[in-house]
Structure 1
């Protein structure tokens, strides 16, 4: 028997999970572990018979359904040294195929605090029967059985004494009718249409042939860059789309390390070889404001409303669009045009400062397009469809 004390290091845990202390998968994983939801973690015989590789198997209670069958977690650890490294992990939950859900996070935290060599040896029979035949299931149901609020110890001392006494029948009727209305609410009135549109926008971005082709391009990068991308570009695109619309500060954070629509032109046309200076200026841009920018911000909403009124279309405003398959890219349109509940075009608004003193015909050429002095659209070559 191996007498070494072997545990996953905190550093290797963070390296595999690809997050920081503010990442949901990290702090939720710790909460799951501290709640005692990891009810089993042991070693099983490896099917691959690979030397210095250990296969672990764990059971973790479902947070949303504690009395249901637990999630199963499997993974492989490289045990060539006293600091085992995580090779791969998988969980039976909806997010488990990514290998980095909160249940996997909790199991790996368990591996950072316990000697892996002392893990229980499990057989395939043990795995199937552990939940149903052991006391684990009955104990879990007992611990997490529902109780009334007034029965909770932390609440009992604050429970007010009843001023009046009512019958059990009257109490039952009151509780059953709390929140009820005479007229039922129409379901269509409580649907969050903004969330639906956000999903349609992200799905459209993921289905782009250009985006699919781009994601399949193999690029060799150093491990330090891989880890940097995992840590800094790990947010869910749907969350980014919503939060960057509500917070300009979050918008700056999410676009900082991405190639975006408004900044790709300067990368595409960069001819010098001084990338150290270029990178510093790109990732740490100065906050510039002038009369031209202020003019555009002032009239952007008015221009958008004019477009909607003239073309009779639905325009959805959103935050930073990040395609799932290329999360190093981003684009912040001034609006997404919807026709028949489908996103068909991006709206890009330009409010030329010359418009304060000149008529529209001066700003347009004979074909009806904006003159080059107004808009430099080299970046359009890079935006794609």
Structure 2
């Protein structure tokens, strides 16, 4: 302002002074505007892409340093905290073993129940009616159509009717479970629909063709796999989360740095390994049931295959048995034949088993707990008798496990997320 006063003093007239002031401020504004424009140009050059004419000439000395391997220092695992954990999945993926079903000469398994639906004609209706009558000759419909009632069942052929009675009871149980599902299963079905909507077209097509089932297919699958020792049983469980693997997958979903490719490949890889406990479980399952019925003479055990519920067909459960009382299903039955039972009586075995607590109850943080909880959810049962059979004493020690709603809700939500975001893409890639 000192210079401004000196020059203003030289002006003889006020008008000339005003013109000079306006001209002065105009020049100052133009200077500020040019400064702002230059600042914007510099910022645009720094933030924008490297131009071929100017940026490359600037970056060329730096790029030459990068291309010189002598100037690159080696990075050790200790330079970054836990860098080996971060790079684990990327490094291991290169050396993952390939399962047999990925080879071109191995035939891909297909479900026998995926057939095109025929148009229902009059001849087809007659064919179905004859098939139903032949399958259920003692039903009211069969008796009405034939007009002939068969004599009462004699003791001599009562034994031959047991498989048919088992099948009828099993169908009755499944019909009840499908028509009146557990409310947690309905919640899981809603989550299933939302997650499937976000899947790719290929994944949705695979799901509809290989995973989804109708009520009739679910009934047939369970009946056809009773005994759990045939190829159909292995096929149906090969692309679903079943009771034996649900808890390990549930706990692994909480892993902050998971390797799902390796986890799923190892869990669903074909295996011919049969442990001593598995062999004893197969050999002494009948003895285990007999020991249970001795203590519970008013109950009946129905054999079951794999149960795939139409609401959540990505899940499966193979029950060791369903307990019926007064012709109504009351409990799930899970049988274990521990190796320690070969030498010790039930009172000793109960204290030695690592999956039982000090009071003989099944521990909540164990795979068997997740296994029976999934079975109760699918069959809509409120309790499970968990048996441990001791071979040396021909006796059992049992624990009644109640349905855990809080645990099952978290279990189903986590398994659904894992299946549709990890398992379904894995299946599409390998099939």
> Are residues 215 and 304 of structure 1, via their aligned partners in 2, closer, same or farther at CA, if it must alter by over 3 Å?
same
> Who is 1:233 aligned against?
211
Could you say which residue in structure 1 is the equivalent of 2:339? 353
Task: Determine which structure has the larger helix proportion and give its number.
Answer: 2
Instruction: Provide closer, same or farther for how the CA distance between residues 238 and 294 of structure 1 changes in structure 2, counting only shifts above 3 A.
Output: same
Which one has a bigger Cα radius of gyration? 2
Match of 2:168 in 1: 196
Matched pairs, number: 224
Q: Distance in 1 between matches of 2:231 and 2:330?
A: 29
For residue 281 of structure 1, the aligned residue among 266, 274, 297 is: 266
1:216 to 179, 184, 190: 190
1:342 Cα offset (Å)? 1.5
**Superimposed CA distance per residue, residues 9-64 of structure 1 (whole angstroms, 9 cap, x where no aligned partner):** xxxxxxxxxx97954533x64xx7xxxxxxxxxxxxxxxxxxxxxxxxxxx63333
Deviations 1:205-263 (A, max 9, x none): 33222212211222132222211122212451001101111652110000111111111
Cα distance in 1 between the residues matched to 2:311 and 2:335: 27
Match of 1:61 in 2: 121
RMSD: 3.6
Contact 1:322 1:331 in 2 (8 A): yes
Matched, 1:245 2:234: no
Pick one of 286, 290, 295 that aligns with 1:301. Answer: 286
Inter-partner Cα distance in structure 1 for 2:338 and 2:230: 23
Q: How far apart are the structure 2 equivalents of 1:20 and 1:355?
A: 40
Which structure carries more relative contact order (alpha carbon 8 Å, separation 6+)?
Answer: 2
Aligned pair 1:320/2:310, yes or no? no
The whole-number CA distance in structure 1 between the counterparts of 2:218 and 2:328 is: 19
Is residue 301–residue 321 contact of structure 2 (8 Å, CA) maintained in 1?
yes
- Distance apart, 1:197 and its partner CA: 1.4
* TM-score between the two structures when normalised by the length of structure 2: 0.46
**CA distance 1:243–1:329, change in 2 (3 Å):** same
Pairing 1:84-123 to 2, within 5 Å after superposition: none
Q: Identify if the C-alpha distance between structure 1 residues 358 and 370 changes in structure 2 by more than 3 Å, giving closer, same or farther.
A: farther
Q: Distance in 1 between matches of 2:306 and 2:282?
A: 17
Query: 2:354 maps to which residue?
Result: none
Matches of 1:248 and 1:222, distance apart in 2: 33
Quick one: structure 1 residues 275 and 257, their matched pair in 2 at CA, closer, same or farther if it must change by over 3 Å?
Answer: same
- What SS does structure 2 have at the residue aligned with 1:64? helix
Q: Distance in 1 between matches of 2:350 and 2:231?
A: 36
In 1, distance between residues paired with 2:111 and 2:283?
38
2:281/2:337 contact within 8 Å kept? yes
The answer to whether residue 151 in structure 2 is matched with residue 185 in structure 1 is yes
TM-score by length of structure 1 reads 0.51
Distance, in Å, in 2 between the alignment partners of 1:353 and 1:287 is 20
Tell me the SS of whatever aligns to 2:226.
Answer: helix
Return the alpha-carbon distance in structure 1 between the equivalents of residues 337 and 270 of structure 2.
23
Residue 298 of structure 1 and its aligned partner are, at CA, apart by: 1.8
1:344 equivalent in structure 2: 330
Determine if the alignment matches structure 1 residue 25 to structure 2 residue 115: yes
Structure 1 gaps, min length 5: 1-18, 33-59, 67-92, 94-178
| Post-superposition offset of 1:266 | 1.4
Q: What is the deviation of 1:378?
A: 4.0
Q: 1:369 aligns with which of 341, 360, 374?
A: 360
- Superposed CA deviations along residues 175-208 of structure 1, whole A, max 9, x for unmatched, are xxxx999x94238988942332122221343322
What CA deviation, in whole Å up to 9, does each residue of 1:290-331 have, x standing for no partner? 222212222221011111121121110010011121111111
| Structure 2 Cα separation of the partners of residues 319 and 301 of structure 1 | 15
Report the Cα distance in structure 2 between the residues aligned to 1:299 and 1:255, rounded to whole angstroms: 23
| Residues 264 and 21 of structure 1, relative CA distance in 2, 3 Å threshold | closer
Q: Once the two structures are superposed, what CA deviation does each residue of 1:49-105 show, in whole Å capped at 9, x if it has no partner?
A: xxxxxxxxxxx6333358xxxxxxxxxxxxxxxxxxxxxxxxxx9xxxxxxxxxxxx
Query: Are residues 61 and 213 of structure 1, via their aligned partners in 2, closer, same or farther at CA, if it must alter by over 3 Å?
Result: same
* Structure 2 Cα separation of the partners of residues 361 and 311 of structure 1: 19
